[in-house]
């Protein structure tokens, strides 16, 4: 992949995304019952593992020989860590929620 | 970037948004979590596919990373005990922050080793600022989360020796935190002026790691979940900054979504404990380490005595705490509730403190596991008014969350809302000893005349109590 040259337009576009997504994030969560605090935190945490995308791109470019071994290794470690975050995060959230919601259905 | 790749990322961002929204409501939460996971899958597949089409993906390397990470993550997630859940979330969070910081470092490294590739002008500024901030937040999240994890555990075992995690925060540490953050800002500026000098980069990494430690070190007691939530928010921000470096929209959107919603969740959690975020961060609280040595004693009761007393009760409120989680006695607790409901027709409710256990919702998860009906779990604010009409409050392994000292407005627990168990006509406390809780404050409740102490492990005592009730 050839690094694209960043133009001021790109930057403005990215900053726009950043700011709008922050506002959206503020509005998204309003009232959350205490029961869901931990699952919500853990689920959001899994989503923050999105840096897996950056790690994948980084390790792919590096291995192709265009870049240094060191940055490849760093990106590879990032893939592993991000994947632990993503898979572990979603799995543990699912476990918690199943315990809460599953029993509720039976209890109702 | 190809158009279809952007569409793929857009789809994944939309799934994250829906997922987070649904996660906030009890009924839709499991679906929300699945939507989030689906969004992640879409993003990963889109990325790998676009790499394959752009000249071939390194399947072996990428596949190995994905598989190793998935296996470790899944293994940790399924084998964790419910009591260890908060620590695990803290650990995953640290890994997420580290991953973002590593991607940023990897990008910078390319430039450092190929000097001719160093970008110029605007791109240089953006890259260096984003890389610096990503490193600051990412490494801080890693060290902070790891320390938080060990603080939640209470200590670390080194060569078989148990070392208690310290809580230490003199007030002069606060200006130090601010100076260190400003230093990072200066270092980022210097790294723009002189992009090939790696000293600045290492400086930023070192300071960020130290910042994570000194930010979490003074925080103790019931505030730990708030810090984990804040670190979760930070790891999202780290991902967003990394998105700026590699110019990737989905990283920016998902990262800032988590950053913002995580911050809101942090505020909600603070509110549940009647504290502000600034208090949590800058006022050392609880677990000062110097535990009060106990001089008072209290005579323990036995299960038969308690069973007789429960026989006459019309309304019982069970107050679970971390001790219930540790001894895994939620099934015995449920059995107890069923027994007295059937045998004596007693009304049973559970009083759930927002931070009972080591994390919000901890008790709900455990009791749900034991099939306790959801309607019986009453949140603190709603149940406190019922204690004066309550014949017996059964406190199982809870300490700080019932400590009347919190009302006095002094000491480490000051201002924390508590369960008014002391208002009940009789209080039964199941606990190993009279020792102090997480916050290190002696509990007046134990010494009241109306309090009966059942000293012992939660599971053992609940079983004894259950058989005593059966014999009546």
Read off the tokens for B118.
Answer: 């160093």
Distance from CA of B16 to the nearest CA of A (A): 7
Residues of B labelled catalytic: 400
B158 in the same domain as B141 = yes
- Any bridge partners for residue B426, and if so which? B392
- The helix or strand, by DSSP H or E, that contains position B69, with its residue range, turns out to be helix B59-79
| Cross-chain Cβ contact A104/B368 below 8 Å | yes
CB atoms within 10 A of CB B322: 24
Q: In what order do the strands lie in the sheet with B377-379?
A: B377-379, B347-352, B315-320, B392-396, B426-431, B451-455
B92 in the same domain as B227 = yes
pLDDT, one tens digit per residue, over A53-75 is: 999 988 876 555 555 778 888 99
* Amino acid B66: pLDDT: 93
B216 in the same domain as B128 = yes
* Amino acid A2: pLDDT: 42
Asked, for residue B292, whether it belongs to a domain, the answer is no
* Amino acid B271: pLDDT: 77
Q: What is the DSSP letter of B285?
A: B
B260 in the same domain as B323 = no
Query: What ipTM, to 2 d.p.?
Result: 0.89
Tell me: pLDDT of B104 over 50.
yes
- The helix or strand, by DSSP H or E, that contains position B350, with its residue range, turns out to be strand B347-352
B93 in the same domain as B75 = no
Q: B407: number of CA atoms within 13 Å, CB side?
A: 12
Chain B interface includes A16 (CB < 8 A): no
| Cross-chain Cβ contact A74/B243 below 8 Å | no
Read off the tokens for B335.
Answer: 């059995």
- The share of chain B scoring above pLDDT 70, in percent, equals 92
Contact B176, B206 (CB under 8 A): no
Predicted TM-score (pTM) of this structure: 0.80
- The helix or strand, by DSSP H or E, that contains position B451, with its residue range, turns out to be strand B451-455
B41 in the same domain as B112 = no
Overall average pLDDT of the B129-155 stretch: 89
Overall average pLDDT of the B287-301 stretch: 58
pLDDT, one tens digit per residue, over B172-230 is: 888 888 899 999 999 999 988 888 788 898 999 999 999 999 988 888 666 778 888 89
B310 in the same domain as B263 = no
pLDDT, one tens digit per residue, over B365-418 is: 788 878 888 788 888 888 899 999 999 999 998 888 888 888 876 666 777 788
Report the number of distinct structural domains present in chain B. 3
* Amino acid A69: pLDDT: 79
Tell me: pLDDT of B355 over 90.
no
pLDDT, one tens digit per residue, over B419-465 is: 888 889 989 998 887 777 766 677 888 888 888 888 888 888 899 89
Asked, for residue B427, whether it belongs to a domain, the answer is yes
Tell me which of B282, B311, B339 is where a domain ends: B282
Mutate to test the interface with B, among A2, A9, A17, A51 (most CBs of B within 10 A): A51
Band the pLDDT of B288: cuts 50, 70, 90: very low
Band the pLDDT of B92: cuts 50, 70, 90: very high
Least confident of A20-29, B50-59, B274-283, B399-408: B274-283
Tell me which of B50, B79, B108 is where a domain ends: B79
Structural domain of B134? 86-282
Comparing alpha-carbon positions, the chain A residue that sits nearest to B247 is A14
Chain B interface includes A2 (CB < 8 A): no
Overall average pLDDT of the B344-370 stretch: 82
Asked, for residue B297, whether it belongs to a domain, the answer is no
Tell me which of B57, B79, B101 is where a domain ends: B79
B99 in the same domain as B23 = no
* Amino acid B358: pLDDT: 67
B51 in the same domain as B175 = no
pLDDT, one tens digit per residue, over A31-54 is: 777 778 888 889 999 999 999 999
Asked, for residue B449, whether it belongs to a domain, the answer is yes
Q: What backbone phi and psi angles, to 5 degrees, belong to B420?
A: -80, 50
* Amino acid B399: pLDDT: 83
pLDDT, one tens digit per residue, over B330-349 is: 889 999 999 999 888 889 99
Band the pLDDT of A105: cuts 50, 70, 90: very low
| Cross-chain Cβ contact B247/A6 below 8 Å | yes
Read off the tokens for B298.
Answer: 């209290």
- Could you tell me if residue B165 is left (phi over 0), alpha (psi between -120 and 50 degrees) or otherwise beta? beta
Query: A-chain residues within 8 Å CB-CB of B72?
Result: 80, 83-84, 88
B331 in the same domain as B261 = no
Q: B213: number of CA atoms within 13 Å, CB side?
A: 8
Q: B356: number of CA atoms within 13 Å, CB side?
A: 37
Overall average pLDDT of the B107-123 stretch: 77
Tell me: pLDDT of B44 over 80.
yes
B161 in the same domain as B48 = no
Give Cβ neighbours of residue B376 (< 8 Å, ≥ 6 apart): B337, B348, B349, B350
Q: What are the angstrom distances between the C-alpha of B37 and each of A20, A45, A92, B87?
A: 23, 12, 12, 21
Tell me: pLDDT of A4 over 70.
no
Overall average pLDDT of the B157-170 stretch: 72
Question: What CATH number corresponds to the domain at position B381?
Answer: 3.40.50.1220
B385 in the same domain as B271 = no
Rounded to whole angstroms, the Cα distance separating A13 from B51 reads: 23
| Cross-chain Cβ contact A107/B126 below 8 Å | no
Rounded to whole angstroms, the Cα distance separating B333 from B324 reads: 9
Contact B236, B255 (CB under 8 A): yes
Q: Is A13 exposed, middle or buried (0-12, 13-18, 19+ CB in 10 A)?
A: middle
């Amino acid at each position: 992949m050839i690094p694209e040259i960043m133009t001021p337009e790109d930057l403005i576009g990215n900053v726009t995304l950043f700011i709008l997504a922050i506002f959206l994030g503020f509005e998204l969560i309003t009232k959350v019952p205490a029961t869901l605090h931990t699952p919500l935190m853990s689920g959001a945490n899994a989503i923050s593992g999105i840096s897996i995308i950056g790690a994948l791109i980084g390790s792919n470019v590096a291995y192709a020989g265009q870049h240094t071994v060191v940055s490849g290794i760093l990106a590879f470690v990032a893939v592993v860590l991000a994947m632990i975050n993503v898979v572990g995060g979603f799995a543990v959230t699912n476990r918690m929620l199943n315990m809460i919601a599953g029993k509720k259905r039976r209890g109702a | 970037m190809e158009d279809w790749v952007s569409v793929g990322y857009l789809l994944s961002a939309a799934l994250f948004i829906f997922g987070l929204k649904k996660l906030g409501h009890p009924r839709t939460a499991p679906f929300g979590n699945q939507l989030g996971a689906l969004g992640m899958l879409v993003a990963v597949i889109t990325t790998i596919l676009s790499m394959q089409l752009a000249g071939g993906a390194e399947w072996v390397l990428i596949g190995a990373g994905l598989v190793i990470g998935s296996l470790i993550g899944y293994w940790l997630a399924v084998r964790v005990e419910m009591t260890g859940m908060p620590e695990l979330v803290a650990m995953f969070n640290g890994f997420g922050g580290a991953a973002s910081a590593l991607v940023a470092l990897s990008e910078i490294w390319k430039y450092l080793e190929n000097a001719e590739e160093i970008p110029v002008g605007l791109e240089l500024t953006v890259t260096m600022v984003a890389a610096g901030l990503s490193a600051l937040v990412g490494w801080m999240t890693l060290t902070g989360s790891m320390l938080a994890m060990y603080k939640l555990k209470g200590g670390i075992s080194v060569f078989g020796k148990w070392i208690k995690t310290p809580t230490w925060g003199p007030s002069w540490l606060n200006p130090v935190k601010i100076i260190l953050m400003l230093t990072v800002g200066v270092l980022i500026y210097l790294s723009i002026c002189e992009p090939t000098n790696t000293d600045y980069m290492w400086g930023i990494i070192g300071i960020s790691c130290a910042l994570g430690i000194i930010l979490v070190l003074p925080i103790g007691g019931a505030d730990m979940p708030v810090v984990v939530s804040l670190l979760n928010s930070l790891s999202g921000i780290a991902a967003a900054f990394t998105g700026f470096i590699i110019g990737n929209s989905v990283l920016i959107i998902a990262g800032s979504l988590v950053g913002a919603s995580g911050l809101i969740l942090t505020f909600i959690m603070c509110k549940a404990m009647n504290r502000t975020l600034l208090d949590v961060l800058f006022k050392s609280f609880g677990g000062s380490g110097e535990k009060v040595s106990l001089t008072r004693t209290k005579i323990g009761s036995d299960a038969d005595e308690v069973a007789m007393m429960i026989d006459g009760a019309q309304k019982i409120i069970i107050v679970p705490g971390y001790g219930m989680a540790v001894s895994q006695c939620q099934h015995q607790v449920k059995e107890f509730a069923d027994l007295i409901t059937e045998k004596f027709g007693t009304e049973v409710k559970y009083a759930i403190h927002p931070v009972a256990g080591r994390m919000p919702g901890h008790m709900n998860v455990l009791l749900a596991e034991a099939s306790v009906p959801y309607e019986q779990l009453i949140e603190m604010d709603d149940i406190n008014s019922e204690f004066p009409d309550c014949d017996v409050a059964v406190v199982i392994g809870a300490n700080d969350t019932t400590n009347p000292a919190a009302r006095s407005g002094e000491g480490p627990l000051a201002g924390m809302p508590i369960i008014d168990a002391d208002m009940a006509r009789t209080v039964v406390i199941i606990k190993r000893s009279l020792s102090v809780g997480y916050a290190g404050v002696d509990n007046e409740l134990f010494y009241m005349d109306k309090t009966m102490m059942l000293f012992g492990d939660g599971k053992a005592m609940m079983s004894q109590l259950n058989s005593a009730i059966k014999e009546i």
